């Protein structure tokens, strides 16, 4: 069997209101990976419906995530961009993995416990089995790498557990069907340096969130230049000058947040930012942050708005991407069915 290509898979849920945290935490990194890997970027609409979604909103949000991918610099010609539900292999492989994964593994998933809270009896079965579908998303394309944040590391470990158990359970059949003794790869995490944790512009102790009642708490990727500038000018700060060392940010969450945003947008470190602006007035730094954010994010907002104005073009990107994804996925499904012992035409 030919060696598996160095392939990255990652997915983003279409839950609406993409903001600066989504960009710095995930999409900006997706763009940089394009030069080193064969990349598959998926809008995971099947994951989204584990919690009820308004059908019209689900369509709009799926297109919005796609527009964000393209506007931020992901190239759908060089790489694959599609929505999950257009490739049936995700659901097919997820069922097979439901029969490989163990209930005890699923019960240990901390993210399910957090999302379900005290109402575990009333959440959907899909929410409980979510990590099995995530494993199928990754292994359907036999992806070798997945960019992960802290909150997804446990799910990737489960993906590796499922892959290993499949390889062991069906070892003789894998070999008999002409493969090496392992069929699914042990997918590796791509963990960046310290993650940019983007906090609310109104409260440095809270994460930036689409669900915050105040729109001024976040920079939406669809915001225009004037809106971005106004939100940063209004961002909560304190009256002290910026410190010259990172240690001085520890008790100042709002200052720490804005310095972190500047560093992430400018591909530098907090210490480098403080080396330039430390000791100076906060207002001077804020003006520089306004200029940087408008330069980096303004064109993304403009391009997203333009793309969202042509729904048929977005749908064509998703359809073409799904066609290309299906070529890879269908081969995996055929091989898996043969290995498991399913009769197919």
Q: Which residues are annotated as a binding site for L-tryptophan?
A: 137
- Helical spans, DSSP H, in 140-186: 153-169, 171-176
DSSP labels, 302-324: HHHHHHHT-HHHHHHHHHHHHHH
**Can 118 be counted among the known catalytic residues?**
no
> E strands, 15-115, where?
38-43, 80-83
Q: Which residues does the annotation place in the binding site for ATP?
A: 13-15, 21-22, 149-151, 198, 207-211
Tell me the two tokens of residue 206.
Answer: 């809270």
Output the furthest CA–CA distance in the chain (Å, rounded): 73
Catalytic residue among 210, 236, 270, 337: 210
Terminal CA-CA length for the chain: 22
**Can 210 be counted among the known catalytic residues?**
yes
User: Distance between CA atoms of 312 and 292, rounded to whole angstroms?
Assistant: 33
Question: How many CB atoms within 10 Å of residue 92?
Answer: 18
Catalytic residue among 115, 206, 270, 337: 115
Catalytic residue among 59, 207, 296, 337: 207
Classify residue 134 by burial, with Cβ atoms within 10 Å: 0-12, 13-18, 19+: buried
With residue 283 as reference, give the H or E element that holds it.
helix 282-308
Q: Which residues does the annotation place in the binding site?
A: 13-15, 21-22, 137, 149-151, 198, 207-211
In 3D space, the residue among 32, 30, 38, 35 whose CA is nearest the CA of residue 10 turns out to be: 30
User: Distance between CA atoms of 327 and 119, rounded to whole angstroms?
Assistant: 40
- Give the count of alpha carbons within 13 A of 292, CB side only: 19
With residue 68 as reference, give the H or E element that holds it.
helix 55-72
**Can 115 be counted among the known catalytic residues?**
yes
Catalytically active residues are 115, 207, 210
């Amino acid at each position: 069997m030919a060696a598996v290509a160095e392939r990255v898979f990652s997915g983003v849920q279409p839950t609406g209101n993409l903001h600066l945290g989504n960009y710095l935490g995930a999409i900006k990194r997706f763009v940089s990976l394009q030069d080193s890997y064969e990349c598959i970027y998926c809008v995971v609409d099947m994951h989204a419906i584990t919690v009820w979604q308004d059908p019209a909103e689900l369509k709009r949000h799926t297109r919005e995530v796609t527009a964000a991918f393209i506007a931020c610099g992901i190239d759908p010609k060089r790489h694959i961009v599609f929505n999950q539900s257009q490739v049936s292999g995700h659901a097919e492989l997820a069922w097979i993995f439901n029969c490989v994964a163990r209930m005890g593994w699923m019960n240990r998933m901390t993210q399910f416990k957090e999302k379900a809270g005290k109402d575990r009896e009333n959440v959907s079965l899909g929410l409980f089995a979510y990590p099995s579908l995530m494993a199928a998303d990754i292994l359907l394309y036999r992806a070798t790498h997945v960019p992960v944040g802290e909150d997804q590391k446990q799910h990737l470990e489960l993906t590796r557990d499922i892959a290993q158990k499949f390889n062991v359970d069906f070892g003789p059949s894998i070999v008999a069907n002409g493969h090496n003794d392992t069929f699914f790869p042990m997918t590796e995490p791509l963990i960046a340096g310290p993650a940019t944790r983007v906090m609310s512009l109104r409260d440095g102790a809270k994460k930036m969130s689409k669900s915050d009642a105040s729109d001024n708490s976040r920079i939406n990727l669809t915001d225009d230049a004037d809106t971005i500038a106004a939100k940063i000018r209004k961002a909560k700060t304190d009256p002290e000058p910026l410190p010259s060392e990172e240690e001085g940010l520890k008790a100042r969450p709002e200052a720490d947040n804005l310095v972190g945003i500047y560093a992430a947008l400018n591909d530098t470190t907090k210490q480098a930012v403080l080396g330039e602006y430390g000791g100076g007035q906060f207002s001077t730094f804020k003006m520089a942050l306004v200029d940087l954010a408008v330069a980096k994010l303004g064109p993304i907002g403009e391009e997203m708005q333009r793309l969202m104005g042509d729904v048929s073009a977005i749908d064509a990107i998703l359809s073409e991407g799904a066609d290309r994804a299906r070529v890879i996925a269908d081969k995996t499904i055929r091989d898996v069915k043969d290995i498991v012992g399913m009769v197919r035409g």
